[in-house]
Amino acid sequence: MERLWAPWRMEFILNEKPPGCIFCLGEKGDRSAERERLVLLRDRHTFIMMNRYPYSNGHLLVSPNRHIADMGDLADEEMLELFGNVGLCCRVISRVMSSQGFNVGINLGKAAGAGVDDHLHVHVVPRWVGDANFMTVIADVRVMPENLAATYDKLYPAFLEAAGAAAG
């Protein structure tokens, strides 16, 4: 069996977690809170936010607004919007960050590896050929070439534009 080492995730594991669900905190419309929480887009049934502990730059999470854990509890409109926004994430990241591929996945339940197991979310992880460089292999360290705020500032206008195009 091969092992995937992700020592940069230890910060997530050891950090004190805020009370409540990370996907349910904050109010729509409070732009400062949205930026602080790394929310890129809020839609009618779902929203898109950056992962604070990413596997690569541009690692996004798409989640229903409702606090639900099971895909079977999604209404048809929520399911459609959820996966429509997964597609939107791929299009925006491809355009803005020139990604060459994606890992898209859902961990349903603790046994499946969900870090937050009571609020459904889809991971959209952009990939580039050769993105696992020698630092990962030799030092068990993942090099993140851009900080979260810079990535957010790059992606947010593109999501605003995409949302405006969809509405218009």
Any idea which residues carry the catalytic annotation? Answer: 121
How far apart, in whole angstroms, are the C-alpha atoms of residue 31 and residue 33?
5
> For the chain, how many residues are written?
168
Place of tokens 């996004």: 60
